[in-house]
Structure 1
């Protein structure tokens, strides 16, 4: 159980919610499969091998949102509707009008839905109630918003706030690259993207390329700004920091993973050990990132 991405948010620290209370409220929106006429359903499922919707390991919580979607491409609906429309036109002697075609496509959709294949997708979120962190393992804010929206629907009160820092990631990353110096406990790795602020949005991406020297600095002097930068924290976690304060391509290095090698007796024990190890590392990483960006700007939370 290792997250690959982090969309981080803030909760009050400590959050006045127990795992049992969260379990009870999430159960109101437990996952139900699609009915015959549903295009999509979503709800909470157990994130681990137990039946609990809140997996609690050492005061760190894991929750999981599952979405089930019907796979019914619009091209398939159009094809069947066009064939049906031709048959009707031959029978009645004239072509269907625009409204009749629209109604026919809606009818075809309802007919095909019960036979459509379904796809399920899970998105996990980690909650550190003592320190006020909520992080979604999602590659984009839009995907994370699915989890947040379901939490808003499930909880009586959800005092969430965006994570805001004194320095923007763009300005901080530009300073680090210009000075060839990472903040304390971090090292700059070999991946970076710089993008122009002009209308054409011209971008240069470096992959496994040295970022020292005059080349990257030349792009900065020309007005391009860093939007992604690969970093390593404390020689234990590598990741990419983005302009939106997202943490992507999380990789827990061998020095971390080796701590539990051979120490788990079964799959459940391994899952718990990995989750405990991951959350312990992330509980150090997130405050360090915030400090590197000048500290946190406290904001009013939305309930």
Structure 2
């Protein structure tokens, strides 16, 4: 159970902190917003799920770190399939009525077709992990897209009535600072370069360069930077503990713990799968608290 991607937010719980401290109340509120499969005419559904499978709690807390899990279900309804059936139904209706359907009538046909297809559509499910630290006042959502992360925050607000989270707000131009790291071969102390980078021109007509398995301080990369391209995503290693890619909106992608870190910090596996999963979460809480705080420091993020 590992966060493969993560978007960080600052947290201001206010009175909600008292609820978080009451484990029984947290379970009650999460159960009220528990995941339910899509109804026949629903295209998507989202809700909280037990952390470690059926008959386990909806949340796992250790010290100031708290973990929750959301399940999203979405029915696959290709737009081209809908369009084809709508066109067929509209044509049939127009032949019957011997006239062209107006806009409202076409919308009615489209709604009927969509409802019919939804009842037969296949559904896919995805999980979203949520972590927050009530001392560091940080939230992390295991999503690379802003839309999915905001859906998770909306569910937190629905469950707890209030959940004050704001996206990290750097006081510098992130891509400019990351570009300087490579140009000057001068990373923040706890970072090491990975071997992947995405470069993009500042003008709309400029191209995008994606380099993999490259020395980021090489002459090849320098040529593109000197030509006016900036770093929009860069692979990094944090404190020999975790590797990841950092984007210009401070999203963390491709998160992976290093073997050395796991060897030194992860307890030996036991026959209890839940205990093993909890051990992984505890490590992640520690790493993400440090990593997010460090990112906020080096990019001059507002902590309020």
TM-score exceeds 0.5: yes
SS of equivalent residue, structure 2 residue 119? helix
The residue aligned with 1:285 is 291
How many Å apart are 1:10 and its aligned residue? 0.8
Q: Counterparts of 1:77 and 1:104 in 2: how far apart (Å)?
A: 11
1:193 matches 2:193: no
Q: Which residue of 2 aligns with 1:6?
A: 6
In 1, distance between residues paired with 2:208 and 2:118? 43
1:187-227 deviation per Cα after TM superposition (whole angstroms, max 9, x unaligned): 11221112111121322221111122433333333322111
Give 1:30 shift: 1.8
Over the aligned positions, Cα root-mean-square deviation in angstroms equals 2.4
Structure-1 residue corresponding to 2:78: 73
Distance 1:296 1:198 in 2: 26
Is contact 1:58–1:276 with CA below 8 Å preserved after alignment?
A: no
Is residue 55 of structure 2 the alignment partner of residue 39 of structure 1? Answer: no
- Find the residue that maps to 1:69 and give its secondary structure: strand
User: Which runs of 5 or more structure 1 residues have no equivalent in the other structure?
Assistant: none
Task: Tell me by how many angstroms 1:234 deviates.
Answer: 1.3
Deviation at 1:260, TM superposition (A): 3.0
Q: Structure 1 residues 296 and 104 mapped into 2: Cα distance closer, same or farther (>3 Å)?
A: closer
> TM-score under structure 1 normalisation?
0.88
State the Cα deviation string for residues 251-300 of structure 1 (Å, max 9, x = none). 1010122243643232111111111122222222222222332x43233x
Moved over 6 A (4+): none
Match of 1:25 in 2: 29
Partner of 1:207: 212
TM-superposed deviation, 1:13: 8.1
Instruction: Pick the aligned partner of 2:266 from 245, 260, 263.
Output: 260
Question: Are positions 1:218 and 2:210 aligned together?
Answer: no
Distance between the aligned counterparts of 1:271 and 1:168, measured in 2? 38
Deviation larger for 13-22 or 282-291: 13-22
Partner of 1:175: 180
Which whole-Å deviations, capped at 9, do the CAs of 1:1-38 have from their partners, x for residues lacking one?
11111100011389553252433333332222222222
Q: Residue 62 of structure 1: CA displacement?
A: 1.2
For 2:70 and 2:124, the matched residues in 1 are separated by: 14
Q: What is the aligned residue count?
A: 297
Q: CA 1:86 to 1:209, structure 2 compared with 1: closer, same or farther past 3 Å?
A: same
The range that moved more, 274-283 or 67-76, is 67-76
| Counterparts of 1:11 and 1:101, CA distance in 2 | 46
Alignment match, 1:227:
232
**Structure 1 residues 79-88 or 35-44, which shifts more?**
79-88
Change beyond 3 A, Cα 1:54–1:81 = same
Number of the residue aligned with 2:101 = 97
> Cα distance, 1:240 vs. partner?
0.9
Name the SS for the 1:144 alignment partner. helix
Structure 2: gaps spanning 5 or more residues: none
Task: Flag the 1:287–1:13 CA change in 2: closer, same or farther, 3 A.
Answer: farther
**Whole-angstrom distance in 2 between the partners of 1:25 and 1:65:** 14
Deviation per residue, 1:154-196 (Å, 9 max, x gap): 2222222222234332122122111112111211122111211
Moved more, 77-86 or 224-233: 77-86
**Aligned equivalent of 2:276, options 270, 275, 279:** 270
Query: In 1, distance between residues paired with 2:94 and 2:178?
Result: 64
